[in-house]
Amino acid sequence: MSKKKEERQLQIRQILEGKEKIKVAELAKLLSVTPETLRKDLDELQERKILIREHGYAKIQSSSVETFVELKAQKNKEMKKIVALEAFSRIENGMIVYLDSGSTILTAISALRNKSDITIVTNSILVAYECANMNLNIIMAGGLLFNIGKRTYGHFATEIIDHLSIDLAIMGTDAFTEKSHGFTTISADELGFKRHVMNQSAKKIMISDASKVNNKADIAPYAFCKFNEFDEFITNHLTAEQYDVVKTVKKVTQV
C-alpha cells in the first residue's frame, strides 16, 4: 500500500471511531479527496471488515484499536483493572514512574493514592488529571495534542522525556502478533514518543488486557520495540499459542 493511501485509511478509521457513522460525501470533503479515491478506500476497508456502507453512510464495523479513550474504558474494564493493579504493585516509594495513555491504566489509577513520594511522568491529559486529583507530583510531557487519544506527541514531548531518568515505565500497546516481532501502535507519532520513553527508562513493563493478544497486526502497523526489550509483560490468561508469541519478554505474568 502506498504511504499516502495508508495514512488516509488510518485517518478514515480515526474519524469513524469518533463519529460512529458519517456521510460518505462529508468524509470526502474532510479528507479533500475525490469520491472515486474515497470509494476505493472504503471498498478496501469494507473488505477488511473495518466498516460497512449503508444508504450513503460509512459506519464503523469492528472495534478498531484506537477509539475514544473514554469509550474504551468501558470495555473489558475488569480485565484491565486486574492487569493495571498488578503493574502498580511494582511501583516502589521514591520512584519516577512513566504512565502511558490508554484505558488500561485509567481503570486502576486511583490505586496510586497509596503510594508515597512518587513522581508520575505522562503524556496523557487524562492520567495527569487523575493524578492531580490525588495530589501527586506530575511531570507532564506536553506537546502537540492528539485529540482523539487525549495525549501529546512530537518534539516538545520527546524533549522533556529526554531530560528525565525514569525508574519504571508502564506502557500499553495496540496490538501484536508473531509477525510484528514486538508491540505495536496505530500511530506513527506515538511510535516516536514511545521509543524516547523506553530509551530513558531503567525498567519497562508492558501491560495489556487479553483482548489485545494476537490482535490483527495490520491494523497497528508500527512496532515500537522488540518483545525482548521489555522486562515484564503483564496480561490476563494466555493460551499456549499466545504465550509463544511473547515468550522473549524477560518475564511474562498472567493475572
Partner 1 sequence: MSKKKDERQFKIRQLLQEHPKIKISDLADYFQTSSETIRKDIIELENSKIIKKEHGYALLLEEPDEMPISLRNQEYIEEKKQIMKKACTFIKEGMVVYLDAGSTCLAGIPFLQSIHNITIVTNSIFVAYKCAKLNMHVILIGGNISNNAYRSYGNFASETIDYIHIDVAILGTKGFKDNNGFTTYENEYELKRHILQQSEKIIVVTDKNKFNAQPEYTYCKFKEVDVFISNTLTKENKSQIQVIPEIIEAEV
Backbone angles phi, psi at 222, to 5 degrees: -105, 110
Name which of 80 and 175 has its Cβ closer to partner 1: 80
Name which of 124 and 208 has its Cβ closer to partner 1: 124
Longest dimension (CA), the chain: 58
Name which of 138 and 206 has its Cβ closer to partner 1: 138
Taking CA atoms, 148 is separated from 60, 98, 126, 165, in Å, by 16, 21, 12, 28
Closest approach of partner 1 to the CB of residue 77, in Å: 14
Asked whether the beta carbons of 41 and 7 are under 8 A apart, the reply is no
Closest approach of partner 1 to the CB of residue 132, in Å: 5
Q: Which residues contact 163 (CB under 8 A, 6 or more apart)?
A: none
Residues contributing to the site for partner 1 (CB under 8 A): 68-70, 125-126, 128-129, 131-133, 135, 137-145, 147, 150, 152, 156-157, 159-160, 163
Sheet holding 51-54, edge to edge: 21-23, 57-60, 51-54
Closest approach of partner 1 to the CB of residue 155, in Å: 9
Asked whether the beta carbons of 82 and 255 are under 8 A apart, the reply is yes
Closest approach of partner 1 to the CB of residue 9, in Å: 20
Closest approach of partner 1 to the CB of residue 104, in Å: 15
Name which of 139 and 210 has its Cβ closer to partner 1: 139
Name which of 132 and 202 has its Cβ closer to partner 1: 132
Residue 214 C-alpha cell reads as 494476537
Asked whether the beta carbons of 58 and 128 are under 8 A apart, the reply is no
